[in-house]
């Protein structure tokens, strides 16, 4: 049995994907799940959130195997004549591990693009499929090592070949959105792209009737969206962003779920089925948490979370707990 993979995905940048993966990984761990996170964004921001520079230097340097190995170090032998290297997980806590990202992962994009048409060929199917499903193989192997209940993947902000492979490995998608026109627009490209990737992957799977190893389903099932308040410009009247945010229930249903009939909820607050949460703007708690390399809801007095900051950290704990529980229920993950 494979471990469910949940990817936070939107090709619109800066909508809080990485912050969500980071905070939900910690929260799911806090409420009793075993979580593997995987940084599939060549910008490696999730990795930088988890690891300090000392650990990063070791990981990206010579003595890497003691400290884990990056996603790129796992796929690299494949680009020559070798096979996938089993991941050495970077342990954050006994219940939480990371497959770190790598800036040089960007170089794998060309290999993935080249093998995409080859998976429709009539011979030599092993290599193209091995490469296209490498992220899936590595994440599943890592999850098995630590007996994870769920895998959370962070992806970069584009619709390129790395993200297509990340999505082939994905069972469930959450779409983070900013409260702006750009995020609303992103839904119009995202839905059709996911439809195409699902179909293209199904066609390739169909082409390899007797695969030599298990291939992921590539279900990419959207389980909801999260609206981020942090992008809102405070100087603007509330109405300016309400205008965009209130169109999200309809655009999400039309584009991500192919629901063209409606009726559509008039606001995300009324969209109980698909709006998973509105994430608050945490202001100065964000740099404080980054400095302490902790999620906001783990900040203590000693980290500087005093008075109203401590209260805000407690509110964050409550909000992320509700969101984590909702997600766990929606994708039916069990405590392992």
Ligand X SMILES: Nc1ncnc2c1ncn2[C@@H]1O[C@H](COP(=O)(O)OP(=O)(O)OP(=O)(O)O)[C@@H](O)[C@H]1O
List interacting residues with ligand X (CB under 6 A): 13-19, 41, 43, 45, 156-157, 228, 230, 279-282, 286
Task: Return the residue nearest ligand X (CB atom).
Answer: 13
Residues 84/138, Cβ–Cβ less than 8 Å: yes
336 binds, among Mg ion, ligand X, none (CB under 5 to 8 A by kind): none
Is residue 245 within 8 A of residue 267, CB to CB? The reply is yes
- Judged by CB, which is closer to ligand X: 8, or 108? 8
Query: DSSP of 49-70, one letter per residue?
Result: HHS-HHHHHHHHSTTHHHH---
With CB cut-offs between 5 and 8 Å by kind, which of ligand X, Mg ion, none does residue 286 bind? ligand X
Residue nearest to Mg ion (CB): 18
Instruction: Look at the chain and count its residues.
Output: 336
Q: Binding of Mg ion at residue 45 (CB under 5 A)?
A: yes
Nearest to ligand X of 281, 300 (CB atom): 281
Alpha-carbon Rg for the chain, nearest whole angstrom, is 20
How far apart, in Å, are the Cα atoms of 173 and each of 21, 75, 195, 219, 327?
Answer: 12, 23, 13, 9, 11
Q: Where are the beta strands (DSSP E) in 188-288?
A: 221-228, 275-279
Return the C-alpha torsion angle 286, 304, 32, 172, nearest 10. 0
Residues β-bridged to residue 225: 175, 275
**Footprint (CB under 5 A) of Mg ion, residues 48-87:** none
Contact between 34 and Mg ion by CB under 5 A: the answer reads no
CB of 14 to Mg ion, least distance (A): 8
Binds 11, which of Mg ion, ligand X, none (CB < 5 to 8 A, cut-off by type)?
Answer: none
CB of residue 101 to ligand X, shortest distance in Å: 11
Minimum CB distance to ligand X smaller for 79 or for 160: 160
Direct distance between the N- and C-terminal alpha carbons of the chain, in angstroms, rounded to an integer = 13
Which listed option, Mg ion, ligand X, none, makes contact with residue 169 (CB within 5 to 8 Å by class)? none
The nearer residue to Mg ion, 201 or 225, going by C-beta atoms, is: 225
Which stretch in 18-26, 93-101, 124-132, 300-308 sits in contact with Mg ion by CB under 5 A? 18-26
Question: And the tokens for 172?
Answer: 């469930």
Nearer to ligand X, 41 or 180 (CB): 41
Q: Could you list the residues that contact Mg ion (CB under 5 A)?
A: 17-18, 45
């Amino acid at each position: 049995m494979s471990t469910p993979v949940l990817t936070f995905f939107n090709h619109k940048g800066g909508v809080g994907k990485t912050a969500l993966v980071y905070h939900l990984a910690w929260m799911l761990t806090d409420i009793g799940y075993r979580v593997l996170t995987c940084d599939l964004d060549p910008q490696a921001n999730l990795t930088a959130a988890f690891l300090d520079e000392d650990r990063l230097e070791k990981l990206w340097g010579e003595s890497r195997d003691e400290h884990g190995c990056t996603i790129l170090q796992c796929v690299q032998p494949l680009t020559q004549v070798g096979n996938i290297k089993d991941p050495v997980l970077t342990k954050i806590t006994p219940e939480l591990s990371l497959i770190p990202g790598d800036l040089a992962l960007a170089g794998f994009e060309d290999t993935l693009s080249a093998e995409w048409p080859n998976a429709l060929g009539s011979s030599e199917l092993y290599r193209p499929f091995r490469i296209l499903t490498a992220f899936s193989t590595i994440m599943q192997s890592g999850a098995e090592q630590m007996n994870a209940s769920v895998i959370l993947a962070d992806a970069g902000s584009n619709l390129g070949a790395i993200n297509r492979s990340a999505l082939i490995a994905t069972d469930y998608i959450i779409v983070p959105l900013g409260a702006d026109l750009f995020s609303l627009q992103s839904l119009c490209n995202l839905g059709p792209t996911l439809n195409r990737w699902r179909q293209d992957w199904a066609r390739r799977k169909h082409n390899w009737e007797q695969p030599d190893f298990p291939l992921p389903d590539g279900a990419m099932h959207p389980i909801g969206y999260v609206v981020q308040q942090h992008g809102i410009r405070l100087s603007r009247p509330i109405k300016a962003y309400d205008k965009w945010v209130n169109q999200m229930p309809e655009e999400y249903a039309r584009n991500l779920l192919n629901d063209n009939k409606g009726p559509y909820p008039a606001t995300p607050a009324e969209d109980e089925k698909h709006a998973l949460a509105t994430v608050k703007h945490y202001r100065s708690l964000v740099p404080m948490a980054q400095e302490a390399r902790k999620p906001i809801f783990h900040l203590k007095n000693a980290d500087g979370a005093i008075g109203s900051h401590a209260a805000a950290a407690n509110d964050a704990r409550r909000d992320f707990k509700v969101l984590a529980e909702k997600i766990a229920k929606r994708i039916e993950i069990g405590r392992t």
